[in-house]
Amino acid sequence: MLRRLLTYFRPYKGLLALDLVCAFLLAGFDLFYPTITGNIIDIYIPRQMFRELIFWLCALLGLYLLKAVCKYIVTFYGHAMGVRIQTDMRRQVFQKLQELPFSYFDKNKTGVIMSRIVGDLQDISELTHHGPEELFITAVTLIGSFLILSRSSLPLTLIIFAFIPAIVAAAVWKKRKMNRAFALMRRTVGEMNADLESSIAGIRVSRAFTGEEHESGRFEHANQTFRQSRELGYKAMGEYYTLLYLLTDLLYWATLAGAAVFTFYGSITPGMLVQYILYVSLFMNSTKRLVDFAEMYEMGMTGFARFLEILDCDSEREVPGAPDLPPVRGEIRFRDVSFSYEGEEGEGQKAVLRHLDLTVEAGQKVAVVGPSGSGKTTLCHLVPRFYDTTEGQILVDGRDITQVSLSSLRRQVGIVQQDVFLFPGSFRENIAYGRFDATPAEIEEAARRANIHDFILAQPQGYETLVGERGVRLSGGQKQRIAIARVFLKNPAILILDEATSALDNTTERMIQEALDELCKGHTTLVVAHRLSTIQEADKIVVLTEEGIREEGSHQELLEKGGLYARLYNSQFAAQG
Q: Do residues 542 and 512 lie in contact, with contact meaning Cβ atoms separated by under 8 Å?
A: no
Which has more confidence, 383 or 291?
Answer: 383
pLDDT at 441 > cutoff 90: yes
Dihedral sign, Cα of residue 269, residue 270, residue 271, residue 276: positive
Helix (H) or strand (E) holding 417: strand 413-417
Q: What is the pLDDT of residue 571?
A: 80
Write down the CATH number for the domain with range 1-152: 1.20.1560.10
Q: What is the pLDDT of residue 69?
A: 93
Intra-chain end-to-end CA distance of the chain, in Å: 66
Distance CA 282, CA 22 (A): 17
What does DSSP say about strands 540-545 and 365-369: parallel, antiparallel, or unpaired? Answer: parallel
Kindly report, as residue ranges, where domains of CATH 1.20.1560.10 are found in the chain.
1-152
Query: 103-122: per-residue pLDDT in tens?
Result: 888 777 776 677 777 777 88
Looking at this protein, which amino acid is placed at residue 422? Answer: L
Q: What are the phi and psi torsion angles at 547 (to 5°)?
A: -85, -10
Give me the chain's average pLDDT, please.
83
Identify the burial level of 361 via C-beta atoms within 10 angstroms of its C-beta, where 0-12 means exposed, 13-18 middle and 19 or more buried.
middle
Share of residues in the chain with pLDDT > 70 (%): 93
Q: What are the phi and psi torsion angles at 359 (to 5°)?
A: -120, 130
Residues 148-158 have a mean pLDDT of 80
Write down the CATH number for the domain with range 332-412+492-576: 3.40.50.300
Query: 511-524: per-residue pLDDT in tens?
Result: 777 777 777 888 89
Distance CA 368, CA 375 (A): 10
Angle at alpha carbon of residue 548, lines to 520 and 365, rounded to 5°: 10
Kindly report, as residue ranges, where domains of CATH 3.40.50.300 are found in the chain.
332-412+492-576
pLDDT at 347 > cutoff 70: no
pLDDT at 243 > cutoff 90: no
Of the listed ranges 54-68, 257-271, 545-559, the one predicted with least confidence: 257-271
Query: 27-53: per-residue pLDDT in tens?
Result: 888 888 888 888 888 888 888 888 888
Count CB-CB contacts under 10 A for residue 217: 11
Helical residues (DSSP H) of 202-269, grouped into ranges: 203-208, 212-264
Crossing angle of the two packed helices 270-311 and 121-152, in degrees rounded to 10:
160
